[in-house]
Amino acid sequence: MGDRVSERPLIGISSSELRAPADVKQTPQGEPADPELALGLSYLRAIELAGGLPVILSPLSLETVKPLVARLAGVCLPGGPDLDPTSYAAGAHPDLGPTEPEIDDFEIALARAADARRLPVLGICRGAQALNVARGGTLHQHLPDQPRTGLEHRQRLPAAEVTHEVEIAPRSLLARFMKRAELTVNSFHHQAVDELGRDLVAVAWAPDGVVEAIEARGRDFVVGVQWHAECLIERPEQAALFGSFVEAARRRSRRVELIAA
């Protein structure tokens, strides 16, 4: 890995959360209240520690997506609120949480544009769900309604604490770079993958059968995990997730440079 910042692959990360003016404490010195983007610094730090150069992607008009993606070596889709079910042609469940349909549209378009350019993509929690929807998949909107669900998938412990086991498919990309058949993860999700999107396979499961990770066939790195790995990077297997993602982005960047040379 090069030490110079200029050698680090540029990783775009979206922000799927908005804070309403009423939710932000104003100070006499502050600017007028306005909706704000919210993104945990832990995502950015995890990518930086893995050797990437993270940049936040503003959820602008859909016409900006392709020009944004053209400048990137990889895309990270982070956690956030529930996806609006209209994005996968479903009606709203009574217990659907708050949604941001315009941001959903941006992130789904972002995932599809990254896919079209064969960029490495890492989805985390909601990001894994958005990756699945972008490829035509669907979601369980309210996990407690699922008959086999026996775990608390929204833990009350801090994010650095782990609460349940995950079984990983032995010949999966995930197993290869994590070097594990099982691991223990945190859990903060209300929804989960139902029908898999085009060319996606489930590669990890919770003990109650809920899909915990997906990946794309025939791609260097298109992976979605349901847990918040960015909060667990002191664990070698979770750091390896980000390390493998950034290394795939570096390989992609080098291929582009060779073609352009």
Residue 24: inside a domain = no
Q: What one-character-per-residue DSSP string does 175-231 give?
A: HHHHT-SEEEE--B-S-EE-S--TTEEEEEE-TTS-EEEEEETT-SSEEEESS-GGG
Q: What pLDDT, in 10s, does the model give residues 21-71?
A: 666 676 666 666 667 777 889 999 999 999 999 999 988 889 999 999 999
Report the amino acid identity of residue 22: A
**pLDDT reported for residue 260:** 65
Q: What is the pLDDT of residues 46-60, one digit of tens each?
A: 999 999 999 999 888
Which residue reads 């998949």 in tokens?
137
- The answer to whether residue 30 sits within a structural domain is no
Question: Is 154 a domain residue?
Answer: yes
CATH number of the CATH domain containing 186: 3.40.50.880
Q: What's the pLDDT at 17? A: 75
Query: Which residues of the chain register pLDDT less than 70?
Result: 1-3, 19-24, 26-34, 147, 149, 258, 260-261
Catalytic sites, residue numbers: 125, 228, 230
**Rounded Cα gap, residues 33 and 25, in angstroms:** 9
> What is the identity of the amino acid at 261?
A
Quick one: pLDDT at residue 179?
94
Query: Cβ–Cβ contacts within 10 Å for residue 90, how many?
Result: 15
Residue 219: inside a domain: yes
Q: Is residue 25 part of a domain?
A: no
Residue 28 lies in a domain: no
pTM (2 decimals)?
0.92
Mean pLDDT (the chain, rounded): 90
Domain count, the chain: 1
Residue 90 lies in a domain: yes
Q: Is residue 178 part of a domain?
A: yes
Domain that holds residue 141: 7-17+35-260
